[in-house]
């Protein structure tokens, strides 16, 4: 009976602890992305993020031993959340291509892109970050490409289609960059309308 009780209690206690731990981790990751987007790499430390998330510095370091761990995990986590949300927007797959183009471009104009941009630019001058961020960029880039191919209903067995989708994603990144210092919404809407038609035609 003691054993049974003990066995029954242990998982009952463990589950909420895991939940709490997961919730703390998520708060830290979301605070880290917001911090990077607003303050850049130089202003983003584990302490600043812990305070913003309402978590002790010790607890933050339990989850993420180094600053590099925290910020690369944060960008990856938010990118995955965005990917999931994007797929959920078009559950039927092949939807209206213009709507898909707008949703894909939107990926590059919010705080996630801003945070990732700060991380990439810092990594270009910091050896400790560089290999981690390069690997992260590769993973996130491949996943975004897969989503774009699926949602745009692009047939990559046809010559040139792979490069067409890649170039469109490069354009989306460039549109994100153009939105960094000023609100580029109006100009971007015109570019997106025009290029959605060109892309639709190119994908056949």
Instruction: Give the binding site for its own copies (CB under 8 A).
Output: 38-40, 42-43, 114, 117-118, 120-125, 130, 133-134, 137, 160, 162-164, 166-167, 169-178, 180-182, 187, 190-191, 193-195, 197-198, 202
Q: Which of residues 24 and 172 has its CB atom nearest to its own copies in the complex? A: 172
Q: Which of residues 56 and 153 has its CB atom nearest to its own copies in the complex? A: 153
CA–CA separation, 35 and 29 (whole Å): 10
Cα dihedral 86, 88, 94, 100 sign: negative
Which of 68, 72, 81 lies closest to 135 in space, CA to CA? 72
Closest contact distance (angstroms) between CB of 159 and its own copies is: 9
Closest contact distance (angstroms) between CB of 157 and its own copies is: 15
CA–CA separation, 122 and 158 (whole Å): 38
- Residues 40, 118 contacting (CB under 8 angstroms): yes
Q: Which of residues 60 and 196 has its CB atom nearest to its own copies in the complex? A: 196
What does the block give as tokens for 156?
Answer: 């990559």
Closest contact distance (angstroms) between CB of 30 and its own copies is: 19
CA–CA separation, 77 and 160 (whole Å): 32
Closest contact distance (angstroms) between CB of 5 and its own copies is: 55
Q: Which of residues 95 and 177 has its CB atom nearest to its own copies in the complex? A: 177
């Amino acid at each position: 009976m003691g054993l049974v009780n003990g066995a029954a209690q242990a998982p009952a206690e463990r589950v909420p602890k895991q939940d709490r731990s997961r919730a703390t981790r998520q708060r830290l990751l979301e605070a880290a992305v917001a911090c990077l987007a607003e303050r850049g790499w130089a202003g983003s430390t584990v302490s600043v993020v812990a305070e913003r998330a309402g978590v002790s510095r010790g607890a933050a370091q339990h989850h993420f031993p180094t600053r590099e761990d925290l910020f690369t995990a944060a960008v990856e986590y938010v990118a995955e959340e965005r990917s999931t949300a994007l797929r959920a927007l078009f559950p039927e797959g092949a939807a209206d291509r213009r709507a898909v183009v707008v949703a894909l471009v939107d990926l590059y104009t919010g705080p996630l892109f801003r945070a990732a941009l700060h991380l990439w630019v810092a990594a270009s001058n910091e050896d400790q970050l560089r290999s981690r961020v390069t690997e992260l960029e590769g993973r996130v880039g491949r996943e975004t490409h897969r989503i774009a191919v699926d949602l745009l209903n692009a047939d990559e067995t046809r010559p040139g289609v792979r490069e067409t989708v890649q170039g469109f994603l490069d354009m989306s990144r460039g549109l994100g960059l153009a939105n960094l210092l000023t609100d580029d919404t109006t100009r971007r809407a015109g570019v997106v309308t025009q290029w959605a038609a060109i892309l639709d035609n190119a994908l056949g």
